[in-house]
Chain A
């Protein structure tokens, strides 16, 4: 994807986001008391800026980009990395409170190492998963007094 096409798509998405935002702000935030003014103004501003970006990119000759910026080349498997990272975070969030910090961390770290990093050394995977979760539990939970969920399905106290 050339930077020009990419920027056109970005401008279109930003414009769409701005329009949806304006609509939501208009219909859901009660008028009066000034609660609606700022979100509405920001939404309109984003719509205008996105439109300017779109028009600029539409008129731009194919060869150059006046910003002088070159898009970082897409990596092979970039989409997988994005989905894997965001997916791990969401799964982590889902497991965190039901299972508690230690079991959910062991599971997520092991899953990342096996499926995302494609490591195949059982000892390294086990050491990393157990070491990280216990280490973080001791440092953050015990030493620094951060609240880490003990788990609602099973509860582990150390």
Chain B
């Protein structure tokens, strides 16, 4: 509790409150505008925090994440295009509500559910982070290695439909991070004898490249092809829901908050999955299923509660184990590391004040969101009218500033271009970007802990066999990969059967 009270003055001061306000607005803007995601917002915002103190920097990142997760619903409801993938489920009933003339109610339900989900997940997170940290405090390099292997297996397996493509993405990320000076032996790896490459690929540069550059290419391409869509939202205002509606849907929202938190805590899943599962949950437990898809309030409440509850969930492995579950938290992780906070079991004992600072920033970010979305929504939706191609020119400049500013190095601008091209090509062949990014983040942790374990055991692998915890994580990893592979093979067999039957059917016809 002492730490909590010492965190209060750390948060309630000009720079931190300003950072929370700025972060929330950046997040909401990037979240609302289709095509721009909060992951991109975070990777562009991170370089801005280098000159800031620890607390304002962390508050800015946390607020950007939460604002971005919330903002996606606005465009989903008003123009039927989710501002972020996490809001895709919201469009299913949010847009029909708008067509029925109930856009104002849908918008207020979205922001209220988001806040509710976020705060419930914060509560679960506060309890779980403490609990998991205490469990993990005994972990040595062998256990951490096994844990990261398990994390990679869920990331590659659950993040996308194809385990094979997910794993290819993950391995590419792991490979990229081995370039540069080896941190244990000091040997140069794939540097081609140049000093500039010795510093390796910077994680933030890679993330800006992988997320922002493909977007720039697509927007320029769409503009040149004359396919740009310019949304034009009507004049909107917000109408608060009746107390009866809130009472009727309270338990649904509470359950969806739980679903979102749990899913968020599993590395490799995230907002879109949580939102769709909750939407499905709401429909299955509804007495009148026919209303769904035609503007059911529950169809907005469930996904919006769940996708914001994911934010609390993703923070559990991030703060207690140092493992980010999605690209957004990977950026937050780099932000924490840059400012000298090493997430993991010892974070609590060493920096309790900062951890409470994170919790308080989350609460304040929701206060700002409620204010902007309930009071200022009429002005806020005008950002949807900014022409995307001009916005993209500005984003191009911001990418270069961000990449350059990290190490004051032009090498990073070229890395940005190269990885941006790579990200675009990978997207075109349906290789997901999320495992690439998490491979980038987890690669060094994986290698460092494996080699430390080997040094500890003087080269014997029994350091892994003798640890029940490590073996349990390996077993979980095998189960995740096995289940995914089995599912893929069954789907493949079904597809082959279908095609085998196809010519026969054609003959009949």
Residues of A within 8 A of B (CB): 3, 6-7, 10, 14, 21, 24-25, 28-30, 33-35, 38-39, 42-43, 45-46, 49-50, 52-53, 56, 61, 63-69, 71-72, 75-78, 80-82, 84-86, 88-90, 92-94, 96-97, 101, 105, 108-109, 112-113, 116-118, 128, 132-133, 136, 140, 144-149
Contact = CB atoms under 8 A, between A and B. Distances in A.
A68 B161 contact: yes
B397 A38 contact: no
Given A33-B184, A34-B454, A116-B224, A89 B430 contact: no
A70 B328 CA distance: 26
A81 B428 CA distance: 14
A92 B51 contact: no
B40 to A, nearest CB: 15
B404 A81 contact: no
Given A49-B167, A148-B405, 19 more contacts: A10-B431, A29-B189, A33-B184, A46-B175, A52-B164, A66-B495, A77-B221, A81-B218, A85-B396, A86-B417, A86-B420, A89-B213, A93-B413, A96-B410, A109-B393, A113-B393, A128-B390, A140-B405, A147-B408
A2 B188 CA distance: 41
Contact of A76 (B172, B225, B416): B225
Contacts of B162: 67, 69
Report, nearest first, the 6 A-B pairs whose CB atoms are least far apart: A81-B221, A145-B51, A93-B413, A33-B185, A89-B417, A66-B492
B417 A90 contact: yes
A130 B431 CA distance: 39
Which residue of B171, B188, B424, B431 has the most chain A CB atoms within 10 A of its CB atom? B171
Contacts of B414: 89-90, 93
B8 interface: no
B198 interface: no
A6 B429 contact: yes
Contacts of A67: 161-162, 165, 430
A24 B175 contact: no
Interface of B: 47-48, 50-52, 161-162, 164-165, 167-168, 171-172, 174-175, 178, 182, 184-185, 187-190, 192, 213, 216-218, 220-225, 227, 389-390, 393-394, 396-401, 404-405, 408, 410, 413-414, 416-417, 420-421, 424, 428-431, 446-447, 450-451, 454, 488, 491-492, 495-496, 498-499, 502
Contact of B413 (A76, A85, A92, A144): A92
Nearest to A47: B171
Nearest to A66: B492
A117 B241 CA distance: 44
B176 to A, nearest CB: 9
A122 B489 CA distance: 58
Nearest to A141: B401
Given A46-B172, A86-B420, A93-B414, A66 B488 contact: yes
B413 A96 contact: yes
A34 B185 contact: yes
Most buried by B among A49, A93, A128: A93
Contact of B420 (A10, A42, A85): A85
B217 A38 contact: no
Contacts of B218: 81
A43 B51 CA distance: 38
A33 B397 contact: no
B168 A49 contact: yes
Contacts of B178: 38-39, 42
A128 B393 contact: yes
Contacts of A132: 393-394, 397
B222 A46 contact: no
Given A42-B178, A117-B223, A132-B394, A29 B213 contact: no
B429 A7 contact: yes
A14 to B, nearest CB: 7
Contact of B182 (A21, A24, A35, A72): A35
A25 B188 CA distance: 11
14 contacts: A6-B428, A42-B178, A46-B172, A67-B430, A81-B221, A86-B420, A86-B421, A89-B399, A96-B400, A96-B410, A117-B393, A132-B394, A140-B401, A146-B50
A63 B502 contact: yes
A21 B192 CA distance: 12
Nearest to B447: A38
A50 B168 contact: yes
A21 B492 CA distance: 31
B190 A85 contact: no
Nearest to B162: A67
Contact of A63 (B189, B390, B499): B499
Nearest to A90: B417
A75 B225 contact: yes
Nearest to B178: A39
A89 B416 contact: yes
A63 B161 CA distance: 19
Contacts of A65: 495
A105 B408 CA distance: 16
B421 A80 contact: no
